[in-house]
Amino acid sequence: MSMLQHNLIDFSVEAYHDGALETIGKEDLLGHWSVLFFYPADFSFVCPTELEDLQDHYAEFKKAGCEIYSVSCDTQWVHKAWHDANEKIGKVQYPMLADTTGKLARDLETYNEESGLAERGDFIIDPEGKVVAYEVISSNVGRNAEEILRRVKASQFVYEHGDQVCPAKWEPGDETLEPSLDLVGEL
C-alpha cells in the first residue's frame, strides 16, 4: 500500500527544540513544507551522522520554506541528553520529536513492532499535511540530506506547476517536461 497522498493523522508529541521542551502537533506542519525524518534510536551509530547531515543543510531547507522534524520513539528527555552529550547532535537546531507511543510511526508505517523502534523513513509533507514523497530503507544505511532537499524542491515545483514534471536529477532552474503524447518515445 502506498503512502502517497496519505493525510497525516492528528497527533501531538513532545519535542526537544532550541534548548526547551515543546509540544508539536499536526497543526504545526500545516501551511508549509515539512520533512518527517524517522530514525531508530538516540545514542546509536548511523543516526547521528544523518541528523548532523540534515543540520549541515538546515539553512537550505529553511530557505526552501521547509521545516525538518527528526522523529524517534525515544522520549524528549533522551533527546535532550543526546543533544547535550553528542557533538554532532549538539548542533541540531530543528525540532526532535518524541513519538513515545509510536502513533506517528505507525501512521506512516515505519514502526517495527518487534523492536519497538521506528525504521529509517523520511516523508516530505505538503502544506496540506499530505505525503508527497517518501523513502523507507534498511536501518543500517544512512540517508543523504542533499537528495532529500532536492526532492523537496522538485515536489514544491510540481505542487505549484501541476502541468509539468521534473526529470531525473532535476534541480531548480533546470528544464522540466510537460507530459504529452508528443513526448512518448522521444526521451
Q: What residues act catalytically?
A: 47
Instruction: Give how far the C-alpha of residue 37 lies from the chain's centroid of Cα atoms, to the nearest Å.
Output: 4
Q: Which three cell numbers stand for residue 94?
A: 530543528
Query: Within 10 Å of residue 131's Cβ, how many Cβ atoms?
Result: 18
Name the burial class of residue 138, with classes exposed (0-12), middle (13-18) and buried (19+) by CB atoms within 10 angstroms of its CB: exposed
Task: State how far the Cα of 99 lies from the Cα of 67, in Å rounded to an integer.
Answer: 17
